[in-house]
Structure 1
Amino acid sequence: MSNRPPLTILGSLALATPALAQDVPEPQPDIFLFAYDASASDDALSGGINTTNRPTLYDNQPFFTPGGDSFVYSRSDGAQTDVWEYDIASGTHTQITRTPENEYSPTPSPDNRTISVVFERNRSIWQVDRADPGNPVWLLETAGVDEPVGYFARNHASGDVLFWSRYGFNVALSHAGEQAYHFVSGHAVPASPHLIPGTSEFSFVHRQTNEEVWIKAVDPESRAVRPITPIAGTNANYTWAPDGSILQIEGTQLHRWREGAEGWEVIADLAHHGLASATRIAVSPDGTRVAVVGIAAD
């Protein structure tokens, strides 16, 4: 029997075992700001900058404020997601909410005094007053809608709200101040609805029974639904520009749809601007800037 001390054997094993590789975090999206030329048919983007530059932390869902001089967005510190604001002129970020729960899909009001959000307190839509962000108000309490919300769009002028159900995969119409619920469509794709510029209609994404995926519009007054266009590719995130065109990203290509044109046209390749991929896009109210959610190329 060997008289070698056990600790010596254990020490030898420890020295012989290679160090375990640490987990490498998955890259998270940043928010890139570009100048946008709506008249361009080739490369419509220029002057891109990475406004967040936090490749391992979540920054997403930008929405421009009414004046177009800033955008609000959802930002995570790794454990908590709050609403922040990026000022374009100064390049500074300011935290708006500091609640114990997470907030997503921040949407400023036309007067920029309040911000509507999807709030994890009850997974519904809440309104945050900029002057008192610690006391949010449940937007759909009077409507009596406690269905968990994934995404939404709001018409402040009429009070109408169109939301995508987090678990129902449907879209429904409700109201900010009245008891209201109207089922619009099932088989709705998880994507943010939008208020169509210059109208009272909302748009949403619908997967038809033939498996085609279309952007469609619903009129809150007549409740009629009409098709607009199939999406470009597979990414269902899109946005409306103030001129009535639709912008959508597929891979690194930025597509644009216009009423009367034949299908979608490619107006920029984000790979030429340093992005490896992108998913979301927002347009400023004057149509001169876009915020793109994507991952920078190595």
Structure 2
Amino acid sequence: MIKLKISIGLCVFAMLIGQAYGQSAPPSEPKKVDFPHTDIFLFDLDLTNSQQPLSQGKNATQRQGYDNQPYFTPDSQSFLFSRGDDYQTDVYEYALGTGEITQITDSPATEFSPTPSNNNQKIAFVSDRNGGIWLADRADANHPKWLLESIDNREPVGYFALNHDSKDLLYWSRYGYAMILANVQTGSYHYVSGNTPPATPHIIPNTNRFSFVHRQGNGQVWIKELDPNSKAIRPLIMVNGPNHNYAWAPDGSILMIQNDVLYRALPEQGQQWITLADLNALRIKQANRIAISPDGKKLAVVGQSAK
């Protein structure tokens, strides 16, 4: 169903989806946004099976439109994602057991990068509302709270990772392509690094540390670790390709797609990138973003059908 909603069209969302906005419509008309067509493909994942790590693949969303930024819930029973119509985006949820898709938000604003809390009762997301990152109760998802309101931080945010236990928040700012560490509870603010490509930071599994992507002065792009307590930064592994999206598996693996090939690395064991699967052979093209369920048994891939 197409909903005629008004979006202010901040350029961060053009960067998020890799597309530019169209020309502005007259003031009395809602602005139409040129969201790309993307689907979310779901696979069974078995990293112990070197011959066939991916199986039972299917197109979970399968429609003409924008379905992107999947994030699995803590119980690994569903994933949240951002779905766009011609004018804005809302948060939806896909149930793995039934394949049912449920709409979570239905507001005049946009919602990107939906991220569930540890108890799955709250959802954080990036929005074109004032202030960037918002947190909503599932029971009242259309009335979220501005996460950094206490310090009046209006910095435009593209991507983020939120530790719901420590309240540490690492986000990618459009100002100078910078990575910022803040704390929602204390209001602390720490500039981590500039020259960071637009990519989602992550909480490293079974730790309180974050990972983020950094382009060094020599042009190399690395996934690096940040300790929010000491503020120490440690390089983990170099990125070999133009795609900067990646995901952590619970065993400490990093999975990443480059040119429609899925790779895996185990940086703590000194293992560099090895090929896991050719996604073209699985009828997926232009794949870029991925997500792994907390139990390590499911993989979501964002791309298009290659027929």
Q: Which TM-score applies when normalising by structure 1?
A: 0.89
What residue is the counterpart of 2:295 in the other structure? 286
**Correspondence 1:194 to 2:202:** yes
Secondary structure of 1:172's match?
A: strand
Secondary structure of 2:205's match?
A: coil
Secondary structure of 1:142's match?
A: helix
Secondary structure of 2:257's match?
A: strand
CA distance in 2 between counterparts of 1:90 and 1:262 reads 37
What residue is the counterpart of 1:76 in the other structure? 84
CA distance in 2 between counterparts of 1:187 and 1:32 reads 31
- Aligned residues of 1:143 and 1:177 also touching (Cα < 8 A): no
Q: What are the equivalent positions in structure 2 for 1:165-244 lying under 5 Å apart?
A: 165-244=173-252
CA distance in 2 between counterparts of 1:65 and 1:100 reads 25
How far apart are 1:261 and its partner, in Å? Answer: 3.6
Question: What is the root-mean-square deviation of aligned Cα atoms in Å?
Answer: 1.3
CA distance in 1 between counterparts of 2:244 and 2:214 reads 9
Q: What are the equivalent positions in structure 2 for 1:52-131 lying under 5 Å apart?
A: 52-54=61-63, 56-122=64-130, 124-131=132-139
How far apart are 1:262 and its partner, in Å? Answer: 3.5
CA distance in 1 between counterparts of 2:185 and 2:151 reads 6
How far apart are 1:70 and its partner, in Å? Answer: 0.4
CA distance in 2 between counterparts of 1:126 and 1:43 reads 39
Determine which of 144, 147, 167 is the counterpart of 1:159: 167
Give the gaps of 5 or more residues in structure 1: 1-24
Deviates more, 1:256-265 or 1:144-153: 256-265
CA distance in 1 between counterparts of 2:233 and 2:39 reads 35
What amino acid maps onto 2:129 in structure 1? R
CA distance in 2 between counterparts of 1:155 and 1:38 reads 26
**Correspondence 1:28 to 2:49:** no
How far apart are 1:263 and its partner, in Å? Answer: 1.2
How far apart are 1:155 and its partner, in Å? Answer: 0.7
Deviates more, 1:121-130 or 1:221-230: 121-130
How far apart are 1:59 and its partner, in Å? Answer: 0.5
Q: 1:163 to 1:262 in 2, by over 3 A?
A: same
How far apart are 1:168 and its partner, in Å? Answer: 2.2
What amino acid maps onto 1:244 in structure 2? G
Secondary structure of 2:195's match?
A: coil
What residue is the counterpart of 2:273 in the other structure? 264
Q: Which TM-score applies when normalising by structure 2?
A: 0.86
Secondary structure of 1:131's match?
A: helix
Superposition misfits of 4+ residues, deviation over 3 angstroms? none
**Matched-pair identity in %:** 52
What residue is the counterpart of 1:16 in the other structure? none
- Aligned residues of 1:195 and 1:201 also touching (Cα < 8 A): yes
How far apart are 1:134 and its partner, in Å? Answer: 2.0
Equivalent residue pairs, number:
273
Structure whose alpha-carbon radius of gyration is higher: 1
Secondary structure of 2:219's match?
A: coil
How far apart are 1:89 and its partner, in Å? Answer: 1.0
Give the gaps of 5 or more residues in structure 2: 1-33
